[in-house]
Structure 1
Amino acid sequence: MLASRVEAACEKFQEILASCEGCFIDAVSFGTIGGRDYLDVRLVQTQKWEQVTILLEGVRHFSISEGWDIQGSFVDQISVSYLPKTDRPWPVEAERLVTRFDGLPELYWVQLVGPTMISAVAAIMTVSTSQDLLEG
């Protein structure tokens, strides 16, 4: 069976973000613009890039448990998981975060583990690196 666009993107994002383990959180912001919500997480001092930004839109779940200080918080682990439409099972932990219903799109589930724990589920995900910003 062929992977969906979102499932393939999850695999690519996981590959990129694996090189960010051991980095630091520079900033986290959540807001709405024109009726659209977003979560922006900026990571610095990664193994490959000076800065990596994770942008999530269409956020269905967002939680953060703060360590001593969010800015400068060490990131031990980052995971990106694919949450399919209602026809396939989800991990039990994800079932507790988002109520499933007909018409719910495929989703991205992002978790950052460290002194500051971040969990988010969203319909749209973009990852950009400082290399992308320089080439853009």
Structure 2
Amino acid sequence: MSVPARGGPPIYVSVDIAAPMDEVWRLTQDTSLHSRWDLRFSTIEPVEDLPGGGRRFRYELRLPGHLLAGTGTTIGEKRRPDGTRTSALRFTTPDRLSPLGDGRGYWRYEPLDGGVRFTTGYDYRPGWGGPAW
């Protein structure tokens, strides 16, 4: 028996932010600030820069009685002539208590009059329950 590569349909969320593109980019890309606005993480720490671009990172979520940890890799960044920016990543954890298993995601920043549309999309295998195949 095999486990599907992904769990269910990808998750997409968008929000319009009334702030300059460079400021939204800075606040979301700085790993030391991430846990201030994303409650899924207590810390995200860069581990090493990768040859050819990208960066490896380690993340943690402190829960009562358990420290959930995993690793990830930023796998690219694009800037388009229209001002749109996108960053992509992959992540994994061996922790079976994690709600997120292996997956990938992206953040897209689209310029708007007076701000930015920030869209995130994730595709991952759920980490909770089920036998380890």
Higher share in helix: 1
Q: Same fold (TM over 0.5)?
A: no
Higher share in strand: 2
TM-score, length of structure 2 as denominator length:
0.30
TM-score, length of structure 1 as denominator length:
0.30
Higher Cα Rg, which structure: 2
